[in-house]
Structure 1
Amino acid sequence: MEVSCVWPLIFITILRLCRVHALLPIPIISMEEKIKIDEETKVTCSLPASECRCLEVELRIITEEKLKNCVSHKGNFPNVTCTLEVTKDMHEVELSCEAHFRTKSKPQKLNIQSEPEFTDCPDKLIWIDGQENSFHCKAKGYPPPTVTCVKDSTVYTEGEKFTTHKNMSGDFNCRAANFDVVSKMVTVSVQYEPRISIIIVQPSEAIEEGENLTLSCEADAVPPPSYSWHTPTTQLIYDYDNRTIQIKDAKRIHDGYYICIAQNKLGIQMLKQKITVNEPEIISATDSNLAKESKGNGAEKMGPAFSGLFSVLLLLSFYYLF
């Protein structure tokens, strides 16, 4: 029973060996067509095609004669070429080509589980409002960690493209997670051009000559803007950052448009405000006397009428009494 079981195994092994050898490519040896005595000639051993990329192959030219300057080439069409010094005694000398194969498996990587670790994640980022951006927080570990950054319940995946808005300024919690989790804070500053909301005028936009007035320009920008003004006159008082200007003892030359200019490296915006300076109302002495006379004349006109009415009332009272 044991002998009968061995023979099938031997037969299967022989079949496998034959199959392997049948699959192996056969090397080819090639030489020049016209070979002359006392000259060098090239002899090449090569494989016909790259059918066995999984095999390492070594090609050899086999002969009893002395070969020199052998050069090997690897790749899709491996070959070896040698130089042979030809003599008349070499007629009908045999040369053959041998291919020696070494098989190997495909490489496999050894994957060792490791907790996540940030490798490239800056503490601070500067973005421009309206431009396309993304978080570039790289982390290593196995399995490869997933990196996300969160602010106000909004989650951004590492590398995800989005349009930046100024309300995105602030601290983001960036997390790298696989079987473990690590996190770090990333501070984002979104820069944007100036936006002037209002020019505040105190006490009002219309004043009389001799009064005081203040204009303050309110602008929002990152980085903070610089301020300048275009005004009807230079007779003004500026504060330390030019955001506020004052008019002392207003005159007619202060009447006109005041333009606030707010500017940073990203842009510029302007807003204008009209200021009116009125002349004060002047009452002359003649007009004052006329006003007094009109009051006096009114009293005199009312005097006789009042006396007549009093007399009538007095007579009626006597009539009813007696």
Structure 2
Amino acid sequence: MEVSCLWSLIIVYIFRICRVHALLPIPIISLEDKIKINEETKVTCLLPSSECQCLEVELRIITEEKLKNCVSHKGNFSNVTCTLEVTKDMHEVELSCEAHFRTKSKPQRLNIQTEPEFTDCPNKLVWIEGEENSFHCKARGFPPPSVVCVKDSIVYMEGEKFTTLKNMSGDFRCRASNFDAVSKTVTVSVQYEPRISLIIVQPSDSVSEGENVTLICDADAIPPPSYSWHTPTTQLLYDHDNRTIQIKDVKRAHDGFYICIAQNKHGIQMLKQKITVHEPEIVPEVDLGKLTGRNGAEKMEPALFGLLAVLLHSSFYYLF
């Protein structure tokens, strides 16, 4: 029984080998029709079928004679062509062609689990308000890690496009995770053009001649803006950064509009403030002589008698 089984296995094996060989194409040797002595002739070994492209094939021309200038072609209808220098002694020399087939599996990659690691994630980013941006924080590891950046509970996926807002300035926590996790801090600075909220006027925008006035231009911008002014007159005092101007001893020439200009590399904004200058109030002088003359005394007598009556009445009230 064991012998019978052994023979059965041998027969199956031989059958498979024969079946495989029966499916493989047989190469063909190709010679030129007219071959002359002392001339070169081409000898070609050709695989006549393209059905075995999945197999790697090597073609060889077999002969005892010396071949040269052999050129191989792979792909559909693989072949190899060589040159033979013909001599008289080569009559009826045999040439044959062999095909050597090799098969191999499709490649498989060896994947090893590795924890995430940031490969390209800058510590600081500078964005401009209104422009489109995204986080480019690359991380390696297997399985490939996912990367997100979070600030104020708002989550941004790596590579996700968004419009930059002013309030995005600050620290983001970027996290790369697969079966493990790693994180880092990315500081974002958002730059924007100047915005002038107001021009502060001290003490007031309506003053009298001879008073002092201070104007302060209040602008918000990153990077910080430079300041300049358009004014009705040049009789002004500027501080070191031109943000504040002072008017000493206000004149009528100072009346008018004061325009503050704030500018950085992202833009420019202007705001104007009106200063109104009045003539100083004139206080009339009091003529003391009129108050001490006869007419003045006559006017003061009723008032004095009334005051005296009140004092006497109060005295009697406390006595009784």
Q: TM-score range by the shorter chain?
A: 0.7 to 0.9
* Alignment partner of 1:192 is 2:195: no
Read off the aligned partner of 2:272 and give its amino acid letter.
Answer: K
TM-score under structure 2 length normalisation: 0.81
Cα distance in 1 for partners of 2:35, 2:268 equals 86
Cα distance in 1 for partners of 2:125, 2:201 equals 38
Read off the aligned partner of 1:236 and give its amino acid letter.
Answer: L
Cα distance in 1 for partners of 2:97, 2:270 equals 87
The residue that corresponds to 2:308 in the other structure is: none
Correspondence list, 1:4-83, <5 A: 4-32=4-32, 35-48=35-48, 51-75=51-75, 78-83=78-83
The residue that corresponds to 1:202 in the other structure is: 202
Cα distance in 2 for partners of 1:263, 1:206 equals 28
Cα distance in 2 for partners of 1:244, 1:31 equals 101
* Alignment partner of 1:115 is 2:105: no
Q: 1:15 to 1:199 in 2, by over 3 A?
A: farther
Cα distance in 1 for partners of 2:196, 2:275 equals 18
Aligned identity (percent) is: 81
What do you get for the CA RMSD once the two structures are aligned?
A: 3.0
Cα distance in 2 for partners of 1:26, 1:162 equals 64
Tell me if the contact between 1:54 and 1:105 (Cα under 8 Å) persists in the aligned partners.
no
Correspondence list, 1:119-134, <5 A: 119-134=119-134
Cα distance in 2 for partners of 1:238, 1:48 equals 96
Read off the aligned partner of 2:186 and give its amino acid letter.
Answer: V
* Alignment partner of 1:173 is 2:183: no
Tell me if the contact between 1:121 and 1:138 (Cα under 8 Å) persists in the aligned partners.
yes
The residue that corresponds to 1:135 in the other structure is: 135
Read off the aligned partner of 1:249 and give its amino acid letter.
Answer: D
Q: Which moved more, 1:219-228 or 1:17-26?
A: 17-26
Q: Which moved more, 1:58-67 or 1:128-137?
A: 58-67
Tell me if the contact between 1:195 and 1:219 (Cα under 8 Å) persists in the aligned partners.
yes
Correspondence list, 1:224-263, <5 A: 224-263=224-263
Deviations 1:233-265 (A, max 9, x none): 221111121111111111122122211111111
SS class of match (1:241): coil
Q: 1:50 to 1:158 in 2, by over 3 A?
A: farther
Cα distance in 2 for partners of 1:34, 1:278 equals 123
Q: Which moved more, 1:55-64 or 1:169-178?
A: 55-64
**What's the CA shift for 1:5?**
3.1
SS class of match (1:109): coil
Correspondence list, 1:217-228, <5 A: 217-228=217-228
Cα distance in 2 for partners of 1:77, 1:263 equals 74
The residue that corresponds to 1:270 in the other structure is: 270
| Gaps in structure 1 of 5+ consecutive residues | 304-322
Tell me if the contact between 1:147 and 1:174 (Cα under 8 Å) persists in the aligned partners.
yes
Q: 1:279 to 1:149 in 2, by over 3 A?
A: same
The residue that corresponds to 1:280 in the other structure is: 280
Deviations 1:192-246 (A, max 9, x none): 1111111111222221211111111111111111111111222111112111111
Tell me if the contact between 1:261 and 1:269 (Cα under 8 Å) persists in the aligned partners.
yes
* Alignment partner of 1:106 is 2:109: no
SS class of match (1:221): strand
Deviations 1:127-166 (A, max 9, x none): 1111111111111111111111111111111111111111
Tell me if the contact between 1:173 and 1:183 (Cα under 8 Å) persists in the aligned partners.
yes
Cα distance in 1 for partners of 2:227, 2:209 equals 27
The residue that corresponds to 1:212 in the other structure is: 212
Q: Which moved more, 1:85-94 or 1:253-262?
A: 85-94
Q: 1:228 to 1:99 in 2, by over 3 A?
A: same
| Gaps in structure 2 of 5+ consecutive residues | 302-320
Cα distance in 2 for partners of 1:154, 1:97 equals 72
**What's the CA shift for 1:68?**
0.6
